[in-house]
Structure 1
Amino acid sequence: MLQSLELNGVNVTMPDVRHRRRNWKKAFHAMDLLLKDGEDTKQAFEIINALAGRSVERSFGRFLETASGRGLFERREELAGILDDHAFLRQLPAGSFGCAYLTFVTSEGLSAQGLVDENGKIENYQPDNPNDDLAWYSRRLRDMHDLWHVLTGYGRDGLGELALLAFSYSQSRNPGLMFIAYLGARADRKDLGFPQAMKVIWSAKAAGKRAAFLPSVDVVDLFARPLDEVRRSLCIESPLTYLDVLPDFLDRWNQRKLQAAL
């Protein structure tokens, strides 16, 4: 059931989430499945959804407090289609943010539609209601995930994904993100000592807090600008702690993969 209300001076239509409870049982079950198959992205969405509580509503309110956020809300553009428009992205200058994003997704075999499809697999998922403004904002957060990989410099290796979740937690305050990061670090302690992995995660969490509030940034407007310039303007620092331990992490991870294949 949707309701019309005023949120930070803006009229919106959204569900009543005041009594939404976090489902820890569902989150632990999904985490168990995710640890068994790290590529099962659906389980990550299950966890984030189960533990969201009112975090998305609060983040949406913060988004609407900014002039840029209100401008984006008036347009209500859907990012997924823009991000998968490779013809548009190929026209951008070399070294630009948009060019770096295209290189990232093509080298990793990713697409924005892939995130949309995985999101659609979560339990009790309902088709997106075009009249639900909170759902639009949730889709925006989802579709920005790989953009944040590019902006932060955290890779798609296991440690990089955990670090980006911690960074994202500081941006959205959804406890599901830190839940995955912490338990993922514990599970990956064979590839990297738990204290060392947590050092990377805490560093990423702090970096997310110091950065600009990325959900309200018009990322498409920044695509043509040099990536380094965009990072500076958004107060996103180089992930030095992550980069320092990454070679050791990848070496151990590759060794374990080789042993498993024998």
Structure 2
Amino acid sequence: MPKPNFPILSKLKLLGHLVAILRDTTRTDRVFQFVEGLSHDPVLRAKFPHAPAEQAFLEAPFQMGFPQLDELRAMPEGSLGRALAVHMDALGVDFDEFDRTATPSSDLEWVDRHGYETHDIWHVITGWGTGTANEIGLQGFYAGQLDNIQPTGLILIALIRGLIGGKQDLSAMFEVIVAGWTQGRRSKALFGVDWREHFERPLAAVRRDFEVEPVESEGFVEVADKLAA
């Protein structure tokens, strides 16, 4: 039996999450609850339809799952898989900590799941590394690729946090967002790719195939460092 839909109640929940974020900008749990609420809102979903790459993925959706970190570490130097292992080690996180049991049952769940499984791979391919500033840059890349409500919501919260907290350079934040967005627009679509087929390939070749100009070569890492300072 489908759950009843109460638009006013869902809007009040979104407002509650936003108020909580404004009161305490460190409430990351509220940030993700707010963004999840945005992505599930039927009115906003109608305004932000699935991007072409997402639509193509939904025609034949698949689950990649998560690789074993030891297997990635053993891959050739310079490969996508090896670079992914370096990225995860820098985070201090193992894929075994991630949820491997999800079974999507709707288009929205399939899109969310694929994004969850490939998020760190996108970090590696784009060159946006670890830390808050690089995460903002990657969300700009997502927005440039997908015109999606989720990266838009996360960017909005980042700007609110910077404005309310007063601890971050907003001009540097805009530079990072624009850099990511421009990079996303210029690159081929990354969504819907089965990256398991590319793990053992040279990272440089993967980037070349998808026309991704990594941020290191454009000097945006310095901007991200400034933002994180």
Q: 1:174 aligns with which of 145, 148, 151?
A: 148
- Where relative contact order (Cα < 8 A, 6+ residues apart) is larger, the structure is 2
Q: 1:45 aligns with which of 32, 49, 52?
A: 32
1:54 corresponds to which residue? 45
2:111 corresponds to which residue? 137
Where in structure 2 are there 5+ consecutive unaligned residues? none
1:1-31 per-residue CA deviation (whole Å, 9 max, x = no partner) reads: 68xxxxxxxxxxxxxxxx989x565445435
1:30 corresponds to which residue? 17
- By percentage of residues, which structure has more strand? 1
Is residue 2:77 matched to residue 1:77? no
Q: 2:201 aligns with which of 216, 225, 232?
A: 225
TM-align CA RMSD? 3.6
Q: Percent identity over the alignment? A: 22
| 1:86 partner letter | L
- Are the equivalent residues in 2 in contact too, given 1:55–1:173 (CA < 8 A)? no
What is the alpha-carbon distance in structure 2 between the residues aligned to residue 107 and residue 244 of structure 1?
19
1:159 corresponds to which residue? 133
1:194 corresponds to which residue? 170
Superposition misfits of 4+ residues, deviation over 6 angstroms: none
| 2:225 partner letter | P
What is the alpha-carbon distance in structure 1 between the residues aligned to residue 55 and residue 92 of structure 2?
34
Q: TM-score, normalised by structure 1?
A: 0.68
What is the alpha-carbon distance in structure 1 between the residues aligned to residue 204 and residue 225 of structure 2?
23
**Aligned-pair distance for 1:91?**
2.9
1:37-88 per-residue CA deviation (whole Å, 9 max, x = no partner) reads: 6583x434323321124379943764343xxx47963xx2342xx33x1232
Distance 1:106 1:151, change over 3 A: same
What is the alpha-carbon distance in structure 1 between the residues aligned to residue 171 and residue 84 of structure 2?
31
| 1:110 partner letter | V
Describe the SS at the equivalent of 1:216: coil
* Paired residues, number: 219
Is residue 2:87 matched to residue 1:104? yes
Describe the SS at the equivalent of 1:147: helix
Q: 2:227 aligns with which of 238, 249, 260?
A: 249
Where in structure 1 are there 5+ consecutive unaligned residues? 3-18, 118-126, 253-262
1:124-172 per-residue CA deviation (whole Å, 9 max, x = no partner) reads: xxx9555445423320112211111111111222211111112112233
